[in-house]
Amino acid sequence: MLRYTLDRISAALHMSGIMSFGAHQKWVRQLIEDYLREPIRGYAYVSLQQLMLADQELFRYLAERTRDGIKRRPDGKMPCEVYFADAMNCRTVDR
């Protein structure tokens, strides 16, 4: 169910011209991998709450970087894709 929900978000972002389906799917794959990864002994599995907070932080980071608007750029890039790699590696978006 989680995967289907995230896929729908990817499609919505792509159709609205904010981010390509493929770019958001990189984030979705990372979230799912983190969720399914077996934890180190003594630690707990990643919770859905933690995934939700990481997702919120990712989009908060992107929102801060796109304050000028989310229209497609003159070079053809979708607005959030310009900052997406940085957002995934940002310390506040710590999965």
The model's pLDDT over 55-77, given as tens digits with 9 standing for 90+, comes to 999 999 999 999 888 888 888 88
The pLDDT score that the predictor gives to residue 95 is 52
The pLDDT score that the predictor gives to residue 91 is 77
- In 3D space, the residue among 18, 6, 21 whose CA is nearest the CA of residue 54 turns out to be 6
**Contact criterion met (CB below 8 Å) for 36 and 65:** no
- In 3D space, the residue among 35, 36, 14, 34 whose CA is nearest the CA of residue 23 turns out to be 14
The pLDDT score that the predictor gives to residue 86 is 87
Tens digits of per-residue pLDDT, 32-56?
A: 999 999 999 999 999 999 999 999 9
The pLDDT score that the predictor gives to residue 68 is 85
Q: What is the pTM of this model?
A: 0.83
